[in-house]
Each structure stands twice: as C-alpha cells, then as structure tokens.
Amino acid sequence: MTQLDVRVLIGSLRSASYNRKLFDASHELVPEGISLTEIPIWELPHYNQEIQQDPTPVVERFWEAIRESDAMLFITPEYNYSIPGVLKNAIDWASRPAGSSPIYGKPGAFFGASGGRSGTMRMQLHMRQVLPCLNMPLLLKPEVFIPNVADAFDDEGNLVDDRLKGQLIEFYEAFEQLIRLQRS
Amino acid sequence: MTQLDVRVLIGSLRSASYNRKLFDASHELVPEGISLTEIPIWELPHYNQEIQQDPTPVVERFWEAIRESDAMLFITPEYNYSIPGVLKNAIDWASRPAGSSPIYGKPGAFFGASGGRSGTMRMQLHMRQVLPCLNMPLLLKPEVFIPNVADAFDDEGNLVDDRLKGQLIEFYEAFEQLIRLQRS
Amino acid sequence: MTQLDVRVLIGSLRSASYNRKLFDASHELVPEGISLTEIPIWELPHYNQEIQQDPTPVVERFWEAIRESDAMLFITPEYNYSIPGVLKNAIDWASRPAGSSPIYGKPGAFFGASGGRSGTMRMQLHMRQVLPCLNMPLLLKPEVFIPNVADAFDDEGNLVDDRLKGQLIEFYEAFEQLIRLQRS
Amino acid sequence: MTQLDVRVLIGSLRSASYNRKLFDASHELVPEGISLTEIPIWELPHYNQEIQQDPTPVVERFWEAIRESDAMLFITPEYNYSIPGVLKNAIDWASRPAGSSPIYGKPGAFFGASGGRSGTMRMQLHMRQVLPCLNMPLLLKPEVFIPNVADAFDDEGNLVDDRLKGQLIEFYEAFEQLIRLQRS
C-alpha cells in the first residue's frame, strides 16, 4: 500500500502554540500509512497578484510542497470566529494560479484547539465553505473540536488527554480512508 | 457637526486593484461630514501573539490609527469564497489585545468588487459573522455588490458607472447616519 | 418612557422545550420597560407564495402581530448546525410581502439552548447572516450560548442557574438599549 | 451497473415554481444510470420531537422514502439568504432519530434558481455547513447557480437555455460518479 504524504498547515505562529503541540503529538497517532510534514506558512508574503505573476522562490517552494502532497491537513486555532488571517493567506496562495492551482482537488481535513469553549467550531464552519470552492473532498466525521486545550497537556507539553488521543486516532484513520477512496 | 474620521482597510494589495480604485473614487462620493483615510495593512507582519506582547512600531502605529478613528470601512475583493487572508490578518491584529482592542465597538461597513459574478457576496457573509464578535454595529443597507467590475471604469481608470456611483453615494450617506446614531 | 412590546418566536414546538422554559423564566428577568409576548409559529402553514398572495387569517394575524411589535426576539435550539426549519419558515413568512414586510427594519435579538456543547453557537451564526437581509439591527453583546441546558433547571422546571440568570438580565438590558437607540 | 435511485426534495411549494420546472426538465438530462423521484415535503408537519417519538404515517413514509434512496438531491430557491424553512424542516425530519437517521451518510447534491442575482449562492453556502453534520459526501463541482431564472424558459415552460442544460448534464454526470465512488 502506498505511503500517503500529508502536508500540514498550522494556523498559529507562536512557538508554544497548542495547535503546534497537537501537530507534534500527531506523529505517534497517525496510522502507519500516513506521514505528516509541515509546510511553513510564515515565510509567505501577503498575497499579491503581482508577486504571483513573478513568483519568488518562497512562493515556488510553497506551491511545489503542495503539489507533491497526497492530501492537506489544517491544524489551527479560531480567530474572530473564523480562519486565522495567516492561514487564510496561505490558502489564498495555494489556490493560485486559478487554472492550475496545486491545492485544487486534494483531499483535505482540519481540526483545532482554542482556549475558549467553541473548540474552533466556528473556524471549521468557514473551512466547510472555503475548501469546497477548491474542489477538495473533505473529511466529514469525526469532527474534532478542542476547547480548553491547556487541560489536555501536562507541564512538559505532553498530550495526556486519552479521550482526545482516541478522537485523533479515529480522525486520522478516517482521513486515510478518505484519501485512499479518492485515489481509487 | 463633527467631522467623522473613517479609516479604510483595502483587501487587495496589487497597485492596479479595482478595490483601490473604488477607494480613490470614493473621496468624491462621500458626504461632506466624512473623510476617508487608508491604513496600510501590507506593512503588518503575520499575526503572532509573541509580537503582540512586544509590539513593533508598525503594529503600534496600526493600533493607534484604528484607535483614533470614528469608524472602520473595508473595501475588498473576495478570495476563495471568503475574506482575503491579508485583510483577515489585519482584523486579527485590530482585535488585540483581547481586553482593550482598538477596533472593539467601532461602527463598520464593507463593500467590494470582484471580476466574477458573486460581486463579493460571500466575503460579505463572512464579514457579517466576524465583525459582530468585535461588537461592531454594521451598516445593513444598502448592500453594494460589484460583479464584473472592469466594466465600471474607463480606460483612464475613472469610475464611469453612474448606477454604481449612485449606490455608493447612498451607501456613504447611510454609513454616516449609522456612525452618528451610535455616537448619540 | 414608552413600554416596549417585544414579540417572541420560539423555535422548538415540544411542550417541555427548554427554550420555552427560558421564555417563561424571562418574564421575571426583563427590565420594567419591556414586555415579552409569544407569537405562535406552529399555526403557520409551510410558506407558499400562492397562500401569501391570498393569505389565510392565520397568516394575516401573524403579520399583524409582528407589525404591532417594537422588536423581535428569537429563543431557539439549533437543529443540524442551523436554524430550526419551523422557525426559518416563520421568518420566511415574516419577510413577505417583499416590498412591505412587517419584520423589515425591526430591532432583533436571539439566544438559545441546546443539549450538546455548541449552546446554539452555529444557529446564531446563521441568524447573523439571515436577519441583516431584513434590515434588522441586531443585539451584538452579550451573546448567550447555553450548552447542557438541562443542568440549569431544577426538577420543577425552575431556572436555578444564577450565572445564566445574570447573563439573561444583562442581555435584556442591552436589548432595551438597542431598541431605544433605534427609536431615537 | 446498478440503477441509482435518487430522491429529490424541492424547496418551493408553489405549483408554477421554477425549481419544480427544473426538476421536471431534469428527467431528460440525467445519465441513464440515474432516476429522479420527488419526495413530497409539504405533507410533513412542523418538526416536533413529540411527533417524532410517536410518528404519524406521513413521517414514517418520509423516512422510508429516504432510507430506500441511493442519494439525495435538493433543488431549491434561496429565501432570506438561506435554505427555505420548509426544506430545512424536511432536513430536520430526515436527520432523526439521532442514532439511526435515514439520511445519515447518503451522498448529496444541490442546486437552485432564484429571480435575483445570487442564483442561490447563499443558500448553497448554508447547505455546505448543514449537510456535513449528517455525514453526507457532497458534490463539489460543478456548482450550478441560476440567477434570473425566468429567462431560461419559454412561454410553455420548456427549458430552452442550452448553456444551463449543458451545466445540468455535467452536474448529473459528476453526481453519478460521486454516488458510485461512495458505493465502491
């Protein structure tokens, strides 16, 4: 069975980000058939059509990393009831050029953690409207909402919430199935 | 009557942007009681809580420009059925720090132009969910959607669509009323 | 000061509905200047333009009840991540006839309770997109989300959650201010 | 190849509805492998959990019709920037009982026509958030938005817009592929 190369965009840039910690912890939770690799989105400039038409090496590398992938995963907090601007900027880059966008048609999934009670529910609703316009088949279930995320980690930054671990294992298994179904 | 100082965030960065041209044309369409001043959003870094806690001069200036304003206007295209990442990033900055955000409670309005047929309908729907979380009273009517925007300008970049001009005049008059009502 | 006549649409029809109980409990939580009266939405037929053009007495009474009101309040659960169909049907009736809709321009507010964890967060997001098309100025803060609603009541159906009571008192005070501001 | 039994919910109840005409015209546009059958939603009562627990024959028949189907199609106008209440009510019924909902997991697709310019763009955005909570894999492309729908028909009610016919043929072909992929 082919190994699936999933590329990950993380929506929070601070080094101690809980969403980054969830990415780190995920390497041990994914099925054997999946590998997770981050694509750095902080290197990207703000989207500008002029740069797109004469792309810098950073933009070229970003497009190439998406083109090589088998699927896209978004792990991200919710900012102002929506997708963080920095992550939306990366999606805007990924969606160009219009006719030959590298992200177009790739299977996708998302989850995220927030300090408050929404657990990124509202961010995920906006993703359900944004990613279909890029023709991306999306993981439907399970949905993983992580409120009060600080409680899920111990003082050393280890993910110690077994219920959440179980949810993520189930999430990644379902994502693998979605990706393989789309390739069949 | 007090002059109202409206600050404007423009969601497209390319120099020939139609949304920028709509901003330029607006100076002649606003009522006497309103002045429009752009705040440059392209200078802002990607939002990062670490920078927020030790803000750079660019961030400080951005916050100050919003704090001084009487109201906020967003003129922007729609990217991937939503708000452009670069504009959402500016909104994310404007929303911080959580307890003393400069944008919190300011009256707001938005419109925009797109090359396609939505005329930014979908971007505006996301704004209706994002800005209320910042306690911003929003202009309700008229809604201004501008599809096929290229047709509204002549070859010298002058706004020549009289119907659209009329809509914008009505939009700015209603916005002035909203701002004055909120100050009463 | 004029007494404000707020009419209420309740989105759940079962007799033991928690949202109905929240309506019942609200009579003691509203400021003196506000009275709450329910409009029965279960009497309405499914919306049909043919009935609209030759309206039945039930439809006429519904329109009249809204026309008399000073503002509209929606207390409702969330069904399938959105507004219950029966409540949306009432809003569809209230929005007609297009040129002389009785609900057009009325101040509005909403809150609701759910058994699960969203606390009607997602229903409220859809309300933020639906009601502005009817030119309704909406209450922005506080937002009242009520998850796990069964815990808020005792066995006799009395609202005993003091924190929630406090939130609702604040909600109704802010709503009164909004209504009075719009009438000024 | 198995014949696919697609059941259709139509969101407008008036007899001269353009969305109904689009359903009528669709029988000649679907691929050989698909048959379309309407499920009458106007017979359903307003959703009420008490009726659900002791369901009437109409409700039982509605559930049975969905259970038998291979996939669900929604053809509907947009009311107040969202899904018509009468259609949302049918979706609410279809989603129950929670643990053994007949619609859960069925492939789905939607399109619709409106008199105005949105062409049901906004209704479709809400469907993208509602149907995934029922675990329904949704058709992504092509999206069919039909503004100014009256122009697409001749005086006898025949669909004469060849461009729209072509779009619908493509839509139904892609829907057949989606349904077959999900069954594989």
Beta bridge partners of B9: B74
Question: Which domains does chain B possess?
Answer: 4-183 (3.40.50.360)
List, as ranges, residues 26-85 from D with C-beta within 8 Å of A. none
What's the CA angle centered on C75, arms C69 and C76, to 5 degrees? 135
**Whether the Cβ atoms of residue B6 and residue B37 lie closer than 8 Å to each other:** yes
Query: What percentage of residues in chain C have a pLDDT greater than 70?
Result: 100
Residues of chain C by 3-state class (helix, strand, coil), percent to 5: 45, 15, 40
Rounded to two decimals, the pTM is 0.98
The per-residue pLDDT for range C9-31, each reduced to its tens digit, is 999 999 999 999 999 999 999 99
Mark B64-95 as b/e (b = at least 16 C-beta within 10 Å).
ebbeebbbbbbbbbbbbbbbbbbbbbbbbbbb
Q: Is the pLDDT of residue B116 over 90?
A: no
Rounded (10°) CA dihedral B21, B22, B28, B30: -150
Residue of A nearest to D134 (CA): A140
Measure the CA–CA gap between C53 and C46, rounded to whole angstroms: 14
Q: Measured in whole angstroms, how far is the alpha carbon of residue B54 from the centre of its chain?
A: 27
- Cβ-defined contact of A50 to B86 (cutoff 8 Å): no
Mark A130-162 as b/e (b = at least 16 C-beta within 10 Å).
bbbbbebbbbbeebbbbbebeebbeeeeebeee
The per-residue pLDDT for range D134-171, each reduced to its tens digit, is 999 999 999 999 999 999 999 999 999 999 999 999 99
- Cβ-defined contact of A138 to D132 (cutoff 8 Å): yes
Helix (H, G, I), strand (E, B) or coil at D38: strand
Task: Write down the pLDDT at residue B1.
Answer: 84
Tell me, yes or no, if A184 comes closer than 8 A to chain D by beta carbon: yes
Closest CA to B6 of B184, B171, B161, B129: B171
Cβ contacts of C125 on chain A, cutoff 8 Å = 81, 122, 125
Measure the CA–CA gap between C122 and C147, rounded to whole angstroms: 12
Report the mean per-residue pLDDT for chain A: 97
Measure the CA–CA gap between C174 and B105, rounded to whole angstroms: 14
Tell me, yes or no, if C147 comes closer than 8 A to chain A by beta carbon: yes
Mean pLDDT over residues C71-76, rounded? 98
Task: Write down the pLDDT at residue D31.
Answer: 98
Measure the CA–CA gap between A115 and A119, rounded to whole angstroms: 7
Q: Is the pLDDT of residue D115 over 90?
A: no
Which of C111, C140, C178 has the most B C-beta neighbours within 10 Å, making it the best mutation to test the interface with B? C140
Identity of the residue in A129, A140, A184 whose CB atom sits nearest the CB atom of D129: A129
Query: What percentage of residues in chain C have a pLDDT greater than 90?
Result: 95
Measure the CA–CA gap between C93 and B161, rounded to whole angstroms: 36
Helix (H, G, I), strand (E, B) or coil at D59: helix
